[in-house]
Copies of this chain bind each other. A is one copy, B any other.
Amino acid sequence: MYDKNNAFLTLLDIEYPLILGGMAWVGTAKLAAAVSEAGGLGTIGAGGMTPDILRSEIERIRTMTDKRFAVNLMLLNPHIDELVDICLKEGVEVFIFGAGNPGKYIKRVKENHRIIMAVVASETLALRLEREGIDAIIGEGMECGGHIGSLTTMTLIPKLVRTLTIPVVAAGGIATPEQVQASFVLGAKGVQIGTRFIASDECEAHENYKHQIIKSKIRDTVITGGRLGHPARSIKTKFTRKLGKLEYESPEEVERLLMGSLRKAFQTGNEEDSVFMAGQSVGLIDEIKPVKDIIEELFSTEKIQDEYKDTVVESAKE
């Protein structure tokens, strides 16, 4: 169903130009395997992982799929060098770096004939990484869940496409087929989607987290941590309100409260002390479904094509 001549698909050897967003805790082997099995690129989110956990998740995904998968490596992880080593040693084929400048890893990853991409929030870093030999750039708009920049998907993607020659992947707020199509029109060669897959059968997060995703309305996310220098988007709860207030009074107390709050969202889903990271796309998600169904729906372009043709394609022929 999808154009096989797309260089980006060839690069990644996948059926759909879709990457699972790198999600700490939520991005387990099981969820990543389900995405890869359904034709996308599943991503193990190594954000909060220790070396042992990453090693065992890589082992686990290999029992679940023969297809290619990626590991998302968060540069702020204190074990980052060791995690990179593990990925190289264990034969991980796609490295996706986030939360900083992965310049120092490019040479080594490329020398080992692996694919390397980075999630960026601005064109300045993207351009530098292109010069240093990165394979593709994932541009993430601030409507995304988790750590955010300031640019939006609608402005960042066309800017990256105009600035770079390597493939650009659109991320941030995407959860519907229309948005997938719009990303291609903006010049992206693929999409990276996180939040949508939290509300999937294969996601191993606590049911409470999944229900937070489907019950939340589009304005139910909030940005916290801005005053601490690392703004992140999550679902509005009593706990985030508390954090928001404390940010101005006692940043140390906020840091203490945040500790373990992502793990709690994943393991217990307890609103009192969990941070449910999620993008504005929560307002466009209202059903927990199998990963395969989600992906097929995201790429079910016919209906949109028809509408689009009526208003634009036909008229362009005149």
The chain A residues found within 8 Å of chain B, CB to CB, are: 1-3, 5-6, 122-124, 141-143, 150-156, 158-159, 161-162, 172-174, 176, 178-179, 181-187, 189, 218-219, 279-281, 283-284, 301-302, 304-305, 307-316, 318
Q: A176 to chain B: closest CB distance in Å? A: 6
Inter-chain contact A179/B159, CB cutoff 8 Å: no
B122 touches A311 (CB 8 A): no
Q: Label chain A's interface by main secondary structure.
A: helix
Say whether B284 contacts A155, CB under 8 Å: yes
A152→B318 contact, CB < 8 A: no
Q: Which of B6, B279, B310 contacts A311 (CB 8 A)?
A: B6
Q: How far is the CA of A54 from the CA of B311 in the complex (A)?
A: 35
Contact A182-B186, Cβ < 8 Å, known A1-B315, A2-B315, A155-B283:
yes
Instruction: Evaluate whether A182 and B154 lie within 8 angstroms (CB atoms) in the complex, with A314-B3, A315-B3, A318-B1 already known.
Output: yes
Decide: A155 near B182, CB < 8 A? Known: A3-B310, A219-B150, A316-B302.
no
Task: Out of B2, B143, B159, name the residue touching A155 (CB < 8 Å).
Answer: B143
Q: How far is the CA of A279 from the CA of B314 in the complex (A)?
A: 31
Closest beta carbon of chain B to A15's beta carbon, Å: 11
Given pairs A3-B312, A155-B281, A158-B178, 5 additional interface contacts (CB within 8 A):
A2-B315, A3-B311, A159-B283, A178-B187, A185-B308
Cross-interface CB contact of A152 among B123, B161, B280, cutoff 8 Å: B280
> Contact between A312 and B218 (Cβ–Cβ < 8 Å)?
no
Known interface pairs A3-B310, A218-B122, A312-B305; A154-B174 also in contact (CB < 8 Å): yes
Measured between alpha carbons, how far is A218 from B158 in the docked complex, in Å?
11
